[in-house]
Structure 1
Amino acid sequence: MTRTEKAQFIDELTAEFKASDGLIVCDYKGLNTKAIESLRNTSRPGAIKVKVIKNTLASIAMKNAGIEGLELKDTNIFVWGDDQLAVTKVVATFAKTNPSFIIKSGYAGGIVVDAAKVEALSKMPSRNELIGMLLSTWMAPITNFTIGLDALRAKKQESA
């Protein structure tokens, strides 16, 4: 890779890191190509990007994007996307099925998080699930009222 290609690659990474809400760094040593492709395939529907990047290039791009505090050592695969919960869910699910895949650290919501925090974030309900819970809570009184009215109607018809 020439110097200009590296500069262009760093600029692209910087823009993507700035636009993303969640970034997770994982160790992929011991995984074969088929397993990494499986991770990429599961992440595509959620617009989550998975890429093995040289540590020096990634650190420059993260510094340019304002992401500091992540220590990059050994072999790293970077997973990032717009929805931090979706990113954590994909990574945590993949880590459960592949013991060689180790979550190192991440950057979510403007702070550096460790592997335990990434696991905790992956267990949180998504935005759509929270909206569904809220709507069901709002609909409960109306639903109960209509059930009561229907029971009253049935009782009146039965007695008549």
Structure 2
Amino acid sequence: MTKAEKTALIEKLAGEFKASNAIIVCDYKGLSVRELESLRASAREKSAKVQVIKNTLASIALKQVGIEDLELKENNIFVWSEDQISLAKAVCKFSDSVGGKLVIKSGYFEGSCVDSKHIEAVSKLPSKEELIGMLLSVWTAPARYFVTGLDNLRKQKEEQ
């Protein structure tokens, strides 16, 4: 890889890292190519990106966007997206499906560095769609109860 290609890659990564709200760094030792492709496919469904990046290039790109606390050692695969909950769910689900071969090292969620325990905790939260469904259920509950009460009153009047 030439110096110009490296510079272009760093600029591209810095732009993508800056636009994302969540970055997860994982160790991928022991994963087969088929398993890596499966990870990429599941990430694409969640509008996330997956890439194996050299640590030096990744650290330069991360420093350009103000992320300096991530410790990059050994083999790393980077997964990033705008939605941290769906990203954490996808990575944790994939890690479980391959028997823990994909090890979550650390991450960066909305301005702060987080450890693997935090990422696993976020993966257990309800998704955005589930939260919207819960909120709509709470909002429509009074109207539902009112209609049910009116229906019961109608039935009671008909019986008399």
TM-score range for the pair, normalised by the shorter chain length:
over 0.9
Per-residue CA deviation, residues 52-95 of structure 1 (Å, 9 max, x unaligned), is: 00110000000001112000000000000011111111111011
Q: CA deviation at 1:158?
A: 2.2
Match of 2:86? 86
SS of 2:75's equivalent in the other structure is coil
Give the gaps of 5 or more residues in structure 1. Answer: none
AA aligned to 1:111 is S
More moved, 80-89 vs 16-25: 80-89
The match for 2:44 is: 44
Q: Secondary structure at the match of 2:71?
A: coil
Runs of 4+ deviating beyond 2 Å: none
User: Which SS does the other structure have where 1:26 is aligned?
Assistant: strand
C-alpha distance in 1, partners of 2:102/2:129? 28
Partner of 1:35 in structure 2? 35
Equivalent residue of 1:67, what SS? coil
Give the corresponding residue for 2:22: 22
Which amino acid counterpart does residue 97 of structure 2 have in structure 1?
T
1:71 maps to 2:81: no
The amino acid across from 2:158 in the alignment is Q
The residue number in structure 2 matching 1:2 is 2
Percentage of pairs with the same residue: 55
Q: Unaligned 5+ residue runs, structure 2?
A: none
Residue of structure 2 in register with 1:117 after alignment: 118
The offset of 1:111, in angstroms, is 0.5
TM-score (norm 2): 0.97
Q: CA RMSD in A?
A: 0.8
1:94 and 1:45 map into 2 onto residues whose CA distance is 13
Tell me the alpha carbon deviations over residues 6-37 of structure 1, each in whole angstroms, 9 at most, x when there is no partner. Answer: 10010000000000000000000000000000
CA deviations on 1:75-131 (whole Å, 9 max, x unpaired) are 000000011111111111011112211000000011000000000010111222111
The equivalent of 2:127 in structure 1 is 126
